[in-house]
Structure 1
């Protein structure tokens, strides 16, 4: 190795230490072993469960439809949508995110019915927000119900590098609660309490997967737009799972009975004991993730809301102590 002046040696050592610290971020947390909800349902092929949403040639299938690449380039993003609408269920996809510089890129796995109920739509979002070099992807979750305009975002860093291999991102939605999971570990639970009842998603929704240009807001509030010198950006999807009540618009009720205490129905595929409430182990795992990796929660943002949404006072909504503030 060529000898360096002392000043440069110090700078080189500092850069090395920073690089080591950044590269070891993912190794500082060992996730708990929890019930594998994704193991309870079959994997579906693309043609069996989804159809093209937009992007045409930017959607690539392989392995007989069990692997799908969504591409974003300077011409278009891309996406696919479920062939049916669902009233409650378990929805999951294993996703591998674009590597390298991806600021402004948004990869989303979400549910909405805005095309059917444009003025009173519901939405459940998992959005993965791109990163700058040597910085992390951010997981953003959100819930809208019955046309509510209040954003209920929570953001998290991940405990792994999501660009190196596939990781499972899942949504559990039933009468009792909505749970966001990463690799079967709950990261957020929205309970169907009285406080949030008017804004709780309550109508059948389609499932979407997309990659698109979020330059106006995704990274540092739009300060870091997509740099197409690094295109194409490729998000890969596999292990697609959809298990829920298929909505038949010609009937008043879906094909399987509505979940809820008034019926006690067991025909809903996500109405069993393992879906009605989190186990003690799942709750402990969720608490650990939220303590270590939560970046932002709307319930601790009085600067955004002069009066916080009513569910923020519900002890079941979050796990933060009064007076704490977490910002992104």
Structure 2
């Protein structure tokens, strides 16, 4: 597997050439306490430098997590994360947006732990109206345990875009014209958590958590939220055209971003529900637009 890692790191140098491109605004560093509060096992959250950085700690007794203070309808949301190093098999570190009712909407980053010297898997998923099963999985082109990297979501009426640093790794288009629900009217909170999921997370549950390696620690900083806080005024949030993410340049990817997305698709994607005919015999209608990448 070391050779696979070497290929991934070398792949970075085949990066598409960079030109000026429409991209979400750069996040501004803010402390954890401004936008977030613990949700469970708060004694397993460690605050560093006055809360400009936090660590989530998982041991055999419990994991932990936090959530945003407000609920948001559209915007740009990001965190810088440094994942659990070493043997992290069985663990899941998550960063996601979710609404609260039974037919909920959800936008997920899930980082699936690995055995030492094997690559992390990043799984993304999108739920609309309570329906998910839209998993895509990629390998990252860097070691996400060594340095901080930015993971972000751009969400507007036209698309949901998942970014790793400035690279779009997935786009979920508004396909209401194809009969597919899109997250547009349910405010969502932002969540993050670290927990044990060794019944499925690593090689489908074949690799179990080695508690001799505990505690497992994931680190966070740059707790950026630039969204319309629906918990303050939902009617204003539903009004299009007032925010930067509504503008024309953010309604689709530009040429450079599509080239980067294809680069990820061709070199690092290891699973796409759109291509899984064994699991999903009839291709979901939104996948017709996914094939355009």
TM-score with structure 2 setting the length: 0.92
**Distance in 2 separating the partners of 1:196 and 1:91:** 27
User: Residue 300 of structure 1: which of 268, 275, 279 is its match?
Assistant: 275
Q: Report the CA distance between 1:194 and its aligned residue.
A: 3.0
Q: CA RMSD in A?
A: 2.0
2:239 aligned residue: 258
Q: Do the aligned residues in 2 keep the contact of 1:248 with 1:255 (CA within 8 Å)?
A: no
- What residue ranges of structure 1 are gaps of 5+ in the alignment? 1-17, 260-264, 321-328
2:199 is equivalent to residue 216 of structure 1: yes
Q: Report the CA distance between 1:196 and its aligned residue.
A: 5.8
SS for the counterpart of 1:29 is helix
User: Residue 158 of structure 2: which of 176, 188, 194 is its match?
Assistant: 176
Q: Do the aligned residues in 2 keep the contact of 1:36 with 1:184 (CA within 8 Å)?
A: no
User: Residue 206 of structure 1: which of 146, 167, 189 is its match?
Assistant: 189
1:52 aligned residue: 38
User: Residue 259 of structure 2: which of 281, 284, 297 is its match?
Assistant: 284
Q: Report the CA distance between 1:226 and its aligned residue.
A: 1.3
Moved more, 34-43 or 97-106: 34-43
Which one scores higher on RCO, CA 8 angstroms, separation ≥ 6? 2
Q: Report the CA distance between 1:37 and its aligned residue.
A: 4.2
**Distance in 2 separating the partners of 1:58 and 1:84:** 22
2:243 aligned residue: 268
Are the structure 2 counterparts of residues 155 and 196 from structure 1 closer, same or farther at C-alpha, using a change threshold of 3 Å?
farther
2:208 aligned residue: 225
**Distance in 1 separating the partners of 2:51 and 2:199:** 33
Aligned residues: 289
**Distance in 2 separating the partners of 1:222 and 1:19:** 22
**Distance in 1 separating the partners of 2:155 and 2:33:** 24
User: Residue 121 of structure 2: which of 138, 147, 150 is its match?
Assistant: 138
Q: Report the CA distance between 1:270 and its aligned residue.
A: 1.4
SS for the counterpart of 1:47 is helix
2:192 is equivalent to residue 186 of structure 1: no
**Distance in 1 separating the partners of 2:84 and 2:45:** 15
Q: Do the aligned residues in 2 keep the contact of 1:146 with 1:198 (CA within 8 Å)?
A: no
Q: Do the aligned residues in 2 keep the contact of 1:257 with 1:268 (CA within 8 Å)?
A: no
Q: Do the aligned residues in 1 keep the contact of 2:73 with 2:238 (CA within 8 Å)?
A: no
SS for the counterpart of 1:94 is strand
Question: C-alpha deviations, 1:189-220, integer Å up to 9, x for none?
Answer: 11102356543222100000111111111111
Q: Do the aligned residues in 2 keep the contact of 1:139 with 1:156 (CA within 8 Å)?
A: yes
The structure number with the bigger radius of gyration is 1
Q: Report the CA distance between 1:44 and its aligned residue.
A: 2.0
